[in-house]
């Protein structure tokens, strides 16, 4: 679905800092987040949340949960 719109993204396992259960996450750049979020919500896909991960060296990434309407 996103490939048709030519968005830049990658499907990855859900990071352990977000959830300990198995799952798939969509990884994209922060610059594309608004466009991708709007596209997914307008197409009524089931979403569990949006998160911003900031990797700081070898430490556990910083996690920020984003709202659905930012």
Please give the chain's pLDDT, 70 residues, in tens: 666 677 888 899 988 888 888 889 988 888 888 888 888 888 888 888 888 888 877 777 788 888 877 5
CA 19 to chain CA centroid, Å, is: 13
Q: Report the chain's terminal Cα–Cα distance, integer Å.
A: 22
Cβ contact 63:52 at 8 Å: yes
Please give the pLDDT value at position 1: 65
Domain boundaries along the sequence of the chain: 10-66
pLDDT one-digit tens code per residue, 42-55: 888 888 888 888 88
Cβ contact 2:27 at 8 Å: no
The stretches of 25-64 forming alpha helices (DSSP H) are 33-42
Q: Which pTM value belongs to this model?
A: 0.72
Give the SS3 label for residue 30.
Answer: helix
- The CA angle 8-29-12, to the nearest 5 degrees, is 70
């Amino acid at each position: 679905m996103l490939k048709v719109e030519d968005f830049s993204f990658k499907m990855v396992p859900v990071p352990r800092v977000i959830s300990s259960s198995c799952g798939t996450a969509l990884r994209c750049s922060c610059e594309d987040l608004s466009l991708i979020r709007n596209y997914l919500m307008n197409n009524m896909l089931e979403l569990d949340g949006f998160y911003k991960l900031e990797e700081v060296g070898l430490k556990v990434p910083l996690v920020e949960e984003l709202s659905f309407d930012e």
